[in-house]
């Protein structure tokens, strides 16, 4: 009585095996309800997630934006007095480069942002380590950082002007404060979010406190550090845009303010594009470092 059923199962298995790539046989018998279509096997073979990464795929968004901008300008849908065409911006950028104005102001802006980023990252890492690795440090530091977090940096500018004047010290301090908060929050959360199993394993192995920090805590918090660095870089450029509007005599923001006085919308656009490119390139650089440093981590990306 079982012979026809067995033959039917074997026949269905051979049919499904022939339909698979290479005709590879399956490891075990297939139920009759699933053997006729093979769809459950196809569902098991399909991988979930966002799909395979494509080299340079992060440029798709800027490319689509540039395409829309170019198309709208060429079709006359965008008023050139409101937003100059891309080719006008390219011509203006070429003139600024020949005059040396763009390079000079760009170097000054990059130096300001670099100083603020360095100070903010260093202080943020030190504060996060002190608060994340010590309960007493957490009580003393974390609440102060949360108070600082609730106060926008723009609200602190009048006080910083009274303390540091309107020179470079005030501008670098504003950038550093903008960098400090995301750096601290991300790293502190990573330190406090380590799996307790790692602590139990370290205690079982008899690791000392320094070895535990060096071999378990710091590698485990590295993803949080890289995430904080990405936010910190973005915060540095955003703060730079703000401080260069405050009585600056050099930098990309100064160039934009001067162009606003003379109604040079093309120069303003070039400055904004430079800001955008600085943010895009710096974020891509941090992501590249993150991919190298965290190559051991298996994620969707």
DSSP notation for the chain = -HHHHHHHHHHHHHHHHHHSGGGPPPSS---HHHHTT-HHHHHHHSPPSS----TTGGGHHHHHHHHHHHHHHHTT-S-TTTS--HHHHHHHHHHHHHHTHHHHHHHHHHHHHHHHHHHHHHHHHHHHHHHHH-HHHIIIIIHHHHHHHHS-HHHHHHHHHHHHTTSHHHHHHHHHHHHHHHHHHHHHHHHHTS-HHHHHHHHHHT--HHHHIIIIIHHHHHHHHHHHHHHHHHHHHHHHHHHTTSS-SSSHHHHHHHHHHTT-HHHHHHHHHHHHHHHHHHHHHHHHHHHHHTTT-----
pLDDT of the residue at 47: 62
pLDDT tops 90 at residue 232: yes
User: What does pLDDT average to over the chain?
Assistant: 79
pLDDT tops 90 at residue 176: yes
pLDDT of the residue at 299: 57
Percent of the chain with pLDDT over 70: 79
pLDDT tops 50 at residue 164: yes
- Considering only 27-31, 103-107, 279-283, which range has the smallest mean pLDDT? 27-31
Mean pLDDT of 173-193: 90
Mean pLDDT of 71-78: 84
Distance CA(286)–CA(226), nearest Å, equals 8
Mean pLDDT of 75-90: 83
Domain extents for the chain? 2-45, 84-293
pLDDT of the residue at 16: 44
pLDDT of the residue at 23: 46
Q: How confident is the model at residue 127 (pLDDT cuts 50, 70, 90)?
A: very high
CB atoms within 10 A of CB 188: 26
| Residue 259 structure tokens | 């162009």
| Residue 258 structure tokens | 């001067």
CATH architecture entry for 84-293: Orthogonal Bundle (1.10)
- Which residue is listed with tokens 């908060």? 181
Mean pLDDT of 76-85: 81
Mean pLDDT of 204-210: 77
Distance CA(35)–CA(16), nearest Å, equals 7
Mean pLDDT of 207-213: 77
- Pairwise pLDDT comparison (18 vs 197), residue with the higher score: 197
CA proximity to 114, closest of 176, 183, 165 = 176
Do residues 138 and 132 touch, judged by C-beta distance below 8 A? yes
b or e along 223-254 (b: 16 or more beta carbons within 10 Å of the residue's beta carbon)? bbbbbbbbbbbbbbbbbbbbbbeeebeebbbb
Tens-digit pLDDT profile for residues 238-264: 899 888 887 778 888 888 888 888 878
At a CB cut-off of 8 Å and minimum separation 6, what does 50 contact? 300, 301
- Pairwise pLDDT comparison (174 vs 20), residue with the higher score: 174
pLDDT tops 50 at residue 72: yes
pLDDT of the residue at 50: 63
Q: Which of 10-19, 95-104, 119-128, 140-149 has the highest mean pLDDT?
A: 119-128
Q: How confident is the model at residue 9 (pLDDT cuts 50, 70, 90)?
A: very low
Q: How confident is the model at residue 218 (pLDDT cuts 50, 70, 90)?
A: confident
Distance CA(218)–CA(225), nearest Å, equals 9
pLDDT of the residue at 56: 65
């Amino acid at each position: 009585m079982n012979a026809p059923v067995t033959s039917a199962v074997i026949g269905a298995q051979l049919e499904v095996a022939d339909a698979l790539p290479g005709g590879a046989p399956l490891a075990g018998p297939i139920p009759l309800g699933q053997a006729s279509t093979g769809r459950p096997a196809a569902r098991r073979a399909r991988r979930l997630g966002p799909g395979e990464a494509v080299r340079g795929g992060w440029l798709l968004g800027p490319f689509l934006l540039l395409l829309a901008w170019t198309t709208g300008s060429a079709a006359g849908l965008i008023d050139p007095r409101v937003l100059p065409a891309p080719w006008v911006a390219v011509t203006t950028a070429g003139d600024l480069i020949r005059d040396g104005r763009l390079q000079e102001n760009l170097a000054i802006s990059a130096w300001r942002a670099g100083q603020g980023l360095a100070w903010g990252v260093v202080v943020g890492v030190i504060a996060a380590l002190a608060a994340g690795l010590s309960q007493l440090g957490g009580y003393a530091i974390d609440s102060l950082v949360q108070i600082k977090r609730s106060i926008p940096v723009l609200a602190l500018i009048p006080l910083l002007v009274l303390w540091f004047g309107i020179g470079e010290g005030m501008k670098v301090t504003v950038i550093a404060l903008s960098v400090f908060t995301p750096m601290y929050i991300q790293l502190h959360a990573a330190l406090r979010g380590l799996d307790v199993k790692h602590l139990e394993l370290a205690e079982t192995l008899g690791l000392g406190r320094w070895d535990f920090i060096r071999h378990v805590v710091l590698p485990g918090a590295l993803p949080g550090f890289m995430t904080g660095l990405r936010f910190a870089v973005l915060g540095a450029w955003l703060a730079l845009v703000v401080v260069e509007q405050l009585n600056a005599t050099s930098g990309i923001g100064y160039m934009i303010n001067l162009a606003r006085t003379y109604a040079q919308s093309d120069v303003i656009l070039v400055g904004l594009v430079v800001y955008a490119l600085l943010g895009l390139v710096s974020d891509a650089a941090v992501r590249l470092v993150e991919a190298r440093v965290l190559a051991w981590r298996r994620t969707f990306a």
